[in-house]
C-alpha cells in the first residue's frame, strides 16, 4: 500500500501543478486577450494542429488533470476503479508526452514513475512463468 500512496502523491502533484496550473495560465489570456498574450511562444508542440489550437489544448489539459486527481483519490482510498483510472491516465500520458516538449519530459517522469510504482505494488514478486 505504501507504493500506491506514493504513486497517488505523484499523480496529485502532476495533476494539480501541471495540468490545472495550465488553466491558471489561461486566465491572463482571457483577461488581456489572445492578441496581447501569445502563449504559443512558451509552449511548442511537435504537431502544427496542436500549436494552432493551444487554448483547446489547455482545456484538455485541465480535463486530464481532473481525471488524474480523481484517479489518485481513488488509489488513496484503495479502490479498484482508482487503480484502473490511474493506470489508464499514466499510459495515455506516456503515449502523448512526446508531442509537448519540454514539458512532456516532466510528464513522462511523473507518469512513468507513478505507473512503475502502481504496477510493482500490484504484481509484487509474481513471476511470468512459475
**What is the chain's Cα-based Rg?**
17
For 45, the 3-state DSSP assignment is strand
CA distance 68 to 109: 15
CA distance 75 to 84: 9
The tens digit of pLDDT for each residue in 94-118 reads 998 887 777 788 888 999 999 999 9
CA distance 118 to 114: 6
The tens digit of pLDDT for each residue in 37-48 reads 566 566 666 667
The tens digit of pLDDT for each residue in 52-91 reads 777 777 778 888 888 999 999 999 999 999 999 999 999 9
For 78, the 3-state DSSP assignment is coil
Q: What is the pTM of this model?
A: 0.80
β-bridge mates for residue 53, sequence order: none
The residues near 85 (Cβ < 8 Å, ≥ 6 apart) are 67, 70, 71, 74
Amino acid at each position: 500500500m505504501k507504493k500506491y500512496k506514493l504513486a497517488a502523491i505523484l499523480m496529485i502533484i502532476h495533476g494539480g501543478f501541471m495540468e490545472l496550473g495550465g488553466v491558471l495560465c489561461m486566465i491572463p489570456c482571457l483577461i488581456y486577450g489572445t492578441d496581447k498574450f501569445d502563449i504559443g511562444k512558451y509552449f511548442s508542440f511537435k504537431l502544427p494542429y496542436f500549436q494552432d489550437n493551444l487554448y483547446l489544448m489547455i482545456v484538455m489539459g485541465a480535463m486530464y488533470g481532473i481525471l488524474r486527481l480523481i484517479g489518485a483519490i481513488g488509489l488513496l482510498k484503495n479502490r479498484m476503479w482508482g487503480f484502473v483510472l490511474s493506470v489508464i491516465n499514466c499510459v495515455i500520458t506516456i503515449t502523448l508526452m512526446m508531442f509537448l516538449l519540454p514539458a512532456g519530459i516532466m510528464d513522462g517522469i511523473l507518469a512513468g514513475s507513478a505507473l512503475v510504482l502502481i504496477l510493482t505494488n500490484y504484481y509484487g514478486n509474481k513471476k511470468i512463468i512459475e
